[in-house]
A and B are shown apart, each in its own frame.
Chain A
Amino acid sequence: GDSVTQMEGPVTLSEEAFLTINCTYTATGYPSLFWYVQYPGEGLQLLLKATKADDKGSNKGFEATYRKETTSFHLEKGSVQVSDSAVYFCAWGYNQGGKLIFGQGTELSVKP
Chain B
Amino acid sequence: GAGVSQTPSNKVTEKGKYVELRCDPISGHTALYWYRQSLGQGPEFLIYFQGTGAADDSGLPNDRFFAVRPEGSVSTLKIQRTERGDSAVYLCASSLQGATSTEAFFGQGTRLTVV
Contact = CB atoms under 8 A, between A and B. Distances in A.
Interface residues of B, number: 31
B100 A31 contact: yes
B50 interface: yes
Given A98-B31, A99-B59, A102-B44, A43 B108 contact: yes
Contact of A105 (B35, B41, B105): B41
B45 interface: yes
Provide the main secondary structure of the chain A interface. Answer: loop
Interface stretch (A11-19, A60-68, A69-77, A89-97): A89-97
B43 interface: yes
Contact of A95 (B42, B91, B100, B104): B100
Given A99-B56, A104-B40, A44 B100 contact: no
A42 B105 CA distance: 12
Contacts of A46: 103-104
Contacts of B99: 93, 97-100
Interface in B12-29: none
A43 B106 contact: yes
Nearest to A105: B42
Interface of B: 3-4, 31, 33, 35, 40-45, 48, 50, 55-56, 58-59, 91, 93, 95, 98-101, 103-109
